[in-house]
Structure 1
Amino acid sequence: MTTALITGATSGIGAAFARRLASDGHNVVLVARDPERLRDQATELHDRHGVEAEVLRADLSTDKGIAAVEERVADRTHPVDLLVNNAGFGNKGNYLDVPMAEELTMLKVHCEAVLRLTSAAAASMRERGRGGVVNVASVAAFVPRGTYGASKAWIVQFTQGAARDLAGNGVRLMALCPGFVRTEFHGRAGMGTGNIPSWMWLDADKLVDAALRDLARGKSLSIPDPRYKTLMGIAKLTPRGALSRVTSSTGRKYGPQ
């Protein structure tokens, strides 16, 4: 049986990955900050699917938390075959409205943790000649929308570059770029969502199904929905200045308040 490690595993996209991978027969390592939710989730997955469900409490906004997960994904005796870097969060407010400490924490979780965990896992996977990494980014990576979008753009560029460097080594890396997904993400950031059109919302379980299909096909980038594929295709063809104006105005109109 193979083992998958998922960060941010107790809710949203991370929980959907954990459910799907456990149902497919993979042992799972669940990483999050809340020990009670981790224990409850591990018990449920073990009892329902008969897999081993290991818990690892770690705060990826700290060096100690990142190092703990690094050590686990680099373990050669109990190897991780699939890493899902899903942990992340949003900040409410425009540039200069968000405290610098919170901006730096976002970069720690979205960039430094992803870099360190991907590198630790990929090195071990390359030795074995097999493995995969899914780094959860966002369609915000393709539009100019502040630190969140910039950090997700970094994930996309890093993942695709690393995927090219590891081509032929049996290790697959993929950046996953969903749009709005019904999770706890917006509530935790204090963002309202009542103004977001219903057609823009995605289901986490369906998103994971599409992502795993794209990973199996060897894609380094996954935008797992035709609606968002179309929107991102239009964005690529739009001049940068015009795109910035459009995303700024639509962000105020449809973005979380």
Structure 2
Amino acid sequence: MTTALITGATAGIGREFATQLARRNHHLVLVARDAERLEAVAAELRAAHGVDVEVLPADLSDRAALQRVADRLSAPGDPVEVLVNNAGYGLKGSFLSHDIDVEERLFDVLTRAVLVLSHAGARAMKARGRGTIINVSSVAGFIASGTYSAAKSWVTVFTEGLAAELAGTGVTATALCPGFTATEFHERAALAKTGPAFMWLDAADLVSACLADVARGRVVSVPGAQYKAIVGLLRVVPRSAVRGRVARVQRRR
């Protein structure tokens, strides 16, 4: 049986990855900040699927805690074959309305953690000649709307570069770019759920589609026909038009 390490594993997309990978007989290493919640999720998954579940409490904005997770990925005697970099959150308000330390913590979780863990995981996987890295990005990365959008753009491009570097090694890298998804994300960030119902994705369907894309060798996974169409359009529309649209939306808030 293979082992998967998932960050942000106690809720939303991360929890769904844990469930579906456990269903596929993967042992799990679950990473999140809340130790009590980690233990509860681990107990549920052990009981439901009969897999080994290790918990690793860590705040990925803390460099020492992040290094502990990286060290787990590098451990030669207990290899991790699947890495899902999912941990993340959003902020309510604009970049200039936040203190810089708030923005720096967000930056560390959304980008530096992905960098550090992908480096540790990819090196160990490449040495073994097999492995899978999934970095959870966002459709928001194709627009220009604050630091969350910028961070997710970085995640997508970084993953594309990593996939190219790993070509032919037996290790793959995929950027998952979901749109609106029915999880705790918006509640935690105190963000309003906007848009029509058909724009909201189901987390189980999203993860299933991503894992199918990984099996096909796709480097960028965009679940949902509606978001495939949006991303396709954003790739060809002039960036000035995208910025203008975002600016108009923000002025109405």
Same fold (TM over 0.5): yes
1:38-117 matches, within 5 Å, as 38-117=38-117
1:250 deviates by 3.9
Amino acid aligned to 1:231: I
Please, which moves more after superposition, 3-12 or 240-249?
Answer: 240-249
Query: In 2, Cα distance between the equivalents of 1:151 and 1:15?
Result: 22
Query: In 1, Cα distance between the equivalents of 2:247 and 2:212?
Result: 33
Q: Do the aligned partners of 1:3 and 1:29 also contact (CA within 8 Å) in 2?
A: yes
Amino acid aligned to 2:113: A
1:196 deviates by 2.4
1:242-253 matches, within 5 Å, as 242-250=241-249
1:119-158 matches, within 5 Å, as 119-158=119-158
User: Secondary structure of 1:5's partner?
Assistant: strand
Query: In 1, Cα distance between the equivalents of 2:251 and 2:63?
Result: 35
Amino acid aligned to 1:221: V
Query: In 1, Cα distance between the equivalents of 2:135 and 2:250?
Result: 24
The residue aligned with 1:238 is: 237
The residue aligned with 1:225 is: 224
Q: Do the aligned partners of 2:95 and 2:103 also contact (CA within 8 Å) in 1?
A: no
Q: Aligned pair count?
A: 253
Query: In 1, Cα distance between the equivalents of 2:82 and 2:250?
Result: 34
User: Secondary structure of 1:28's partner?
Assistant: strand
1:231 deviates by 0.8
Considering only aligned residues, what root-mean-square deviation do their CA atoms show, in Å? 1.2
Amino acid aligned to 2:159: T
Please, which moves more after superposition, 91-100 or 106-115?
Answer: 91-100
**2:196 matched to 1:197?**
yes
Please, which moves more after superposition, 92-101 or 33-42?
Answer: 92-101
Structure 1 segments unaligned to the other structure (5+ residues): none
Which TM-score applies when normalising by structure 2? 0.97
The residue aligned with 1:215 is: 214
Q: Do the aligned partners of 1:92 and 1:98 also contact (CA within 8 Å) in 2?
A: no
Identity of aligned residues (%): 49
Q: Do the aligned partners of 1:73 and 1:80 also contact (CA within 8 Å) in 2?
A: yes
Query: In 2, Cα distance between the equivalents of 1:164 and 1:22?
Result: 29
Q: Do the aligned partners of 1:136 and 1:175 also contact (CA within 8 Å) in 2?
A: yes
Please, which moves more after superposition, 93-102 or 147-156?
Answer: 93-102
Query: In 2, Cα distance between the equivalents of 1:121 and 1:176?
Result: 17
Q: Do the aligned partners of 2:163 and 2:174 also contact (CA within 8 Å) in 1?
A: yes
1:251 deviates by 5.5
Please, which moves more after superposition, 98-107 or 137-146?
Answer: 98-107
The residue aligned with 1:20 is: 20
User: Secondary structure of 1:181's partner?
Assistant: coil
1:252 deviates by 6.3
1:69 deviates by 0.4
Which TM-score applies when normalising by structure 1? 0.96
Query: In 2, Cα distance between the equivalents of 1:169 and 1:97?
Result: 45
**2:159 matched to 1:159?**
yes
Please, which moves more after superposition, 207-216 or 196-205?
Answer: 196-205
Structure 2 segments unaligned to the other structure (5+ residues): none
Query: In 2, Cα distance between the equivalents of 1:17 and 1:60?
Result: 19
Query: In 1, Cα distance between the equivalents of 2:234 and 2:99?
Result: 29
